[in-house]
Structure 1
């Protein structure tokens, strides 16, 4: 474990959410200090120093790390004590815990704010030498909307504080409840209006809880016997892939496999080339808002992506050819290779690849008939690809590839292909996606009027 937190590999080092938070916070504090010193001096040396400080993290960057941390805490059902105990070297101090609490409060994540304030109080008992004081934490806790301050938290406070302070807490809680409840509801409603409709949609779906459970390793419907069948090996010499997964309830009904997995699909050298080609192109991935039709950044999809054409490198052309070989599909109407990097809290909530909003390529190239997902890194914790409708969860394995058909032979969408990328907890997830369109596949994947294949 110590090796994982070594700074000899910066990407792995920063992939721990607590490490990232501490580092970005320290850099932000350094930037603020530099800006303060530069403002008080007019010499050229300090002006040059101030210009370099612009490259340090901003408040927005720091908030982004905290929000990702809270997203992980929420999905993986971790309380602050468990998170701060991930490693001895990452034991957050009271000021750091309080910072997380304040960001959570500002973002209207009041339950998390209350929990992190409670953790701050616990830390202050262990490390009293901090900037924040117990009195300040208690005052802030009193401003958190009443529903978030549940009874266990209040009882926990009364057990560790002197009697006169407990009385102050009770008074503050009562005053806060009467004076801020209406204001808190108003603030919450206004916050909801500023969130994309895409952000609120998943909660309305019945499969959302199944998706989260699969990400935590719960509800997986693959028996050990069927998991042993989940092995397909690709070699440059070819080979016949075997069926690796089909839903338990439908194994006798479906003739075609749902998911195919290939190992050793990419070599280490090929992965290195693809990563290097894409790094300078990576930008925040967006989705099409179903209401406005515009591409927007959203918590539904948190990653960076880039596109590579086969003209950019013989490696990309070779990968495209390999994808054509294993799928048996015509690559003329396939999209360029998309590279995606999921950092801290990176995720893509359940979606269908074939159901694109305002897809301008449908008339020219058809819908996305197949998806090829290639893992270009291992992931320490989290980052699985899950299929909520059938209870399947696939762990990333560097060099392996996963293939599935989004459309049935009738041309209808296969409801079983609902899938998601679980949030990355520890590690940096790199994948390459190839979407193949239906135009030109008529003689390669024969049509059928059946709705079950």
Structure 2
């Protein structure tokens, strides 16, 4: 069937300059950030304008052809109405010349290609369009968002996202595309939900897209796919019913009829003890997706000794301008620093980064090959800036040093990050070294600071599963925590997740602080040590 062929066809660098470091990946990866969505819309405007020119050229040719047909029919009527047909030699000569010459010209005119320039422009724009891996990123973003916040496929298709209704919806072809993607990965249960959502969207008779008008899907196609998914789950009765509906809608389709006959015979011969195909993806998602990104987790947290203070102890300057500090956890030490970055500074950082964002990469320092790679468990785009990249980064660095009491001369570059469709960072630890490579003189990340550069309408929180703590982006604030304990060992309770964004654009800026160089500001101490031995922000609780 043409529909299936079209569906399958449709689906099936490290540079350092002026203190700026870009990720080592030249691919756009459109869905991993929203910063390039305007560019994509502008590209579509260009493509639509070009197709409009093609349509005008075709229309002009069609108008010329219709005019020619009208003139020839008029001449034919004149010949027929003549009482002395072809008695006049002038009429005879004119007809012979017309039939011998004009039709040759018509043939050449009809064979003449139209819109070659427009087609060439369209072909030149094809490399700029999203690729199949962009669709995979987008589909997985929707699926992870759905699984994390436990949303129904039909609700997402209708624009109901985690309890908030939006004036947006998915078309049947959108839901079908997600369902087919899940089927390709043998995720049958989730695929069935999305195929069902596509049928529900079709029943609502919403306006069809231009591709749906050209290629479908028709309701018979959707029912056929639903039958295939249900058969994979050994729901034989449901599969037969789905195929029966498909046959009723498209009784002369030989492929649907043949598949239905095979299904009937198989249903009669199947053993009751035949094992069902397992949906391995469901258990995997339960393991890697956080359960409390919504912040509505029912498990109580220990709130003892948690409070808000004005920090004036980690820097002499703070005696004049103390920093509002919200203590969220004592062990590990986690605080939310308020008013750490102004709206003007946030806007400047975001605007200066948009043109340089590339897919965020990860690396394994313990491996012999430290080349970075783009992976599926981190869906964002980012760019790196040195602490002295400009006046703004210099001021923020000085401010962070005052707020934490740590030495900012021993830190990594700033990483400005933007999360796209369902953008997330799976549960992970920020420290780089394994236990076997610790204490050998190699630096590691003693602490992390995460600056929130904008407000996120829904989702996008930072979740600490072992602390049952979810922190949602607050523009201008900075989330700070220690990755290593006071003896330099991994603090496993610093495990955290960048929760999927539901609606909005999430801009953050990370700053990792190294342990080497902090020997005097945060020395290795025992829990009973005096606060005089600590110059860092932990003085607020000791």
Give the shorter-chain TM-score range. Answer: 0.7 to 0.9
Counterpart contact for 1:368–1:436, Cα < 8 Å: yes
For 1:31-430, what aligned pairs fall within 5 Å after superposition?
43-86=116-159, 87=165, 89-127=167-205, 131-144=216-229, 146-148=231-233, 208=288, 211-215=290-294, 217-219=296-298, 221-222=300-301, 229=307, 237-239=320-322, 242=325, 244-246=327-329, 258-288=333-363, 294-356=371-433, 366-430=443-507
**Deviation at 1:335?**
0.6
Q: Structure 1 residues 292, 42: closer, same or farther in 2, change over 3 A?
A: farther
**Structure 1 Cα separation of the partners of residues 425 and 528 of structure 2:** 28
RMSD: 4.7
Q: Distance in 1 between matches of 2:137 and 2:473?
A: 25
- Distance, in Å, in 1 between the alignment partners of 2:447 and 2:201 is 51
Question: 1:324-357 CA deviation, whole Å, 9 max, x = no partner?
Answer: 1111011111111111111111111111111446
User: For the Cα contact (< 8 Å) 1:95–1:120, is it kept in 2?
Assistant: yes
TM-score (norm 1): 0.73
Preserved CA contact (<8 Å) 1:16 1:426:
no
| Worse-matched range after superposition: 64-73 or 414-423 | 64-73
Deviates more, 1:228-237 or 1:101-110: 228-237
Could you tell me how far 1:65 is from its partner in structure 2?
Answer: 1.8
CA, structure 1 residues 46+284, in 2 after alignment: closer, same or farther (shift >3 Å)?
same
**Matches of 1:185 and 1:277 in 2, distance apart?**
50
> Counterpart in 2 of 1:4?
none
Mark the CA change 1:383 to 1:117 in structure 2 (over 3 Å): closer, same or farther: same
Whose Rg is larger? 2
Write the distance in 1 (CA, Å) between the matches of 2:264 and 2:367: 42
Flag structure 1 segments of 5+ consecutive residues without an equivalent. 1-13, 193-199, 247-253
Q: Which range moved further: 342-351 or 234-243? A: 234-243
Quick one: distance in 2 between partners of 1:242 and 1:76?
29
Q: Distance in 2 between matches of 1:201 and 1:286?
A: 26
Which secondary structure state, in structure 2, belongs to the residue aligned with residue 287 of structure 1? coil
d(CA) in 2 for partners of 1:176, 1:115: 24
Change (3 A) 1:230 1:62: farther
C-alpha change, 1:375 and 1:332, in structure 2 (3 Å) is same
Q: In 2, distance between residues paired with 1:176 and 1:230?
A: 67
Could you tell which deviates more after superposition, 127-136 or 167-176? 167-176
How has the CA–CA distance of structure 1 residues 141 and 114 changed in structure 2, closer, same or farther, with 3 Å as cutoff?
same
Q: Report Cα offsets for 1:380-431 as digits up to 9, x if no partner.
A: 1111101111111101111111111111111111122111111111111111
Residue of structure 1 in register with 2:515 after alignment = 438
| Greater mean alpha carbon deviation, residues 138-147 or residues 319-328 | 138-147
Counterpart CA distance in 2 for 1:217 and 1:433 is 26
Structure 1 pair 82/331, CA: closer, same or farther in 2 (3 Å)?
A: same
CA distance in 1 between partners of 2:321 and 2:440 (Å): 34
| Unpaired stretches in structure 2, ≥5 consecutive residues | 1-30, 56-112, 160-164, 250-255, 530-541
1:213 offset after TM fit, Å?
A: 2.9
Larger displacement relative to structure 2 (278-287 or 258-267)? 278-287
Could you report, residue by residue, the CA deviation over 1:153-201 in whole angstroms, capped at 9, with x for unpaired residues? 769969x959978x9898665668899xx9x979x99xx9xxxxxxx99
In structure 2, the CA distance between the partners of 1:229 and 1:142, relative to structure 1 (3 Å rule), is same
Task: Assess, with a 3 A threshold, how the Cα gap between structure 1 residues 284 and 363 changes in structure 2: closer, same or farther.
Answer: farther
Query: What is the Cα deviation at residue 318 of structure 1?
Result: 0.9
- Inter-CA distance 233–106: structure 2 relative to 1 (3 Å threshold): farther
3-state SS of paired residue (1:432): strand
Q: How far apart are the structure 2 equivalents of 1:67 and 1:385? A: 20
Stretch of structure 1 that moved more, 114-123 or 415-424:
114-123
CA shift for structure 1 position 438:
0.9
In structure 1, distance between residues paired with 2:382 and 2:438: 20
